[in-house]
Amino acid sequence: MHNNFLFDLDQTLLDFHASEYKALGIVLESNGLSFSEEIYQAFKDYNKALWLELEKGNITRQELFVKRFQYIFSKCEGDASALDPMKINDDFIRTMSVNGVLMEGALEFVKNVKDNIPDARIYIASNGATINAKGRIASTGLDKYIDYLFISEDMGVAKPDAAFFDICLDRISESVTSCIMVGDSLSSDMLGAKNASMESVWFMPSGNIEEAFIEYDINYTADTFEELYVVLQKWATHAR
């Protein structure tokens, strides 16, 4: 039996927003357009609104990709008249997937878990696009320490669905008590662990922590990678 650590990816080990910011800047500026904090914020806000429209079935994925760049072109200084928003969108996705940004201290933390906690196996359990997750992981060097990636797009089911964790457990082939889920999100990571009857660590918790602790059957919290390491080390050495 191993100590099976399941880590969420975004805002747990990698900084999704920092990658997005970096990629948007690279793509806009290399096409002669301006980029700023305000432009990134406008992109984020409009993108979020479009994803809601997509979820409601009002627009297609293709329309979302085109519209977000048409909109952002109108916010930038520079001549966008010859630019194809779909091509820019493709460039943006590709650029983001090779520009992973680590949460500060994440690489050292993961290495420490892998090297110093006996029988540690490290898994990623992430909701998102496979190319984006795999590319960003490889571009940061995290991939060296990871035993397997569970990505919702590959699996056809997402956290917090218990079916997502069933697939993970099937592959891990060890009991659920040998696993612990670490993540920043209550609605996907902590609820998912609860649905799967798996122990959990809420990483960098915020809001009403005590209330959430009870509602989501959370076992531990940690505010920093140092604290998280101590929690995981204790969990691993206690008889379960």
Q: Smallest distance from the beta carbon of 69 to Mg ion, in angstroms?
A: 25
User: Nearest-5° angle of CA 184, CA 163, CA 3?
Assistant: 60
128 touches Mg ion (CB under 5 A): no
8 touches Mg ion (CB under 5 A): yes
Catalytic option among 8, 15, 161, 184? 8
Selection from 195, 213, 203 nearest residue 157 by Cα: 195
76 vs 23, 39, 72, 79, 144, CA distance in Å? Answer: 15, 7, 6, 9, 39
Q: Which is nearer to Mg ion, 89 or 185 (by Cβ)?
A: 185
Q: Which is nearer to Mg ion, 28 or 222 (by Cβ)?
A: 222
Annotated catalytic residue 91: no
Q: Which is nearer to Mg ion, 190 or 232 (by Cβ)?
A: 190
User: Total binding residues for Mg ion by CB under 5 A?
Assistant: 5
Q: Between 220 and 239, how does the x/- string for binding to Mg ion read (CB under 5 A)?
A: --------------------
Residue ranges in 9-28 that form contacts with Mg ion under rule CB under 5 A: 10-11
Q: Smallest distance from the beta carbon of 85 to Mg ion, in angstroms?
A: 28
Q: Which is nearer to Mg ion, 10 or 20 (by Cβ)?
A: 10
**Which of these ranges, 8-16, 40-48, 57-65, 101-109, lies near Mg ion under the rule CB under 5 A?**
8-16
Burial profile 26-45: b = 16 or more Cβ within 10 angstroms, e = fewer: bbbeebebebeeebbebbee
Q: Smallest distance from the beta carbon of 58 to Mg ion, in angstroms?
A: 26
Residue ranges in 164-203 that form contacts with Mg ion under rule CB under 5 A: 184-185
Selection from 101, 104, 108 nearest residue 139 by Cα: 101
Q: Which residues contact 174 (CB under 8 A, 6 or more apart)?
A: 1, 2, 4
Selection from 94, 145, 89, 91 nearest residue 116 by Cα: 145
Annotated catalytic residue 10: yes
Residue holding tokens 């990505």?
Answer: 151
Q: In the complex, which residues of this chain contact Mg ion (CB under 5 A)?
A: 8, 10-11, 184-185
Active site residues: 8, 10
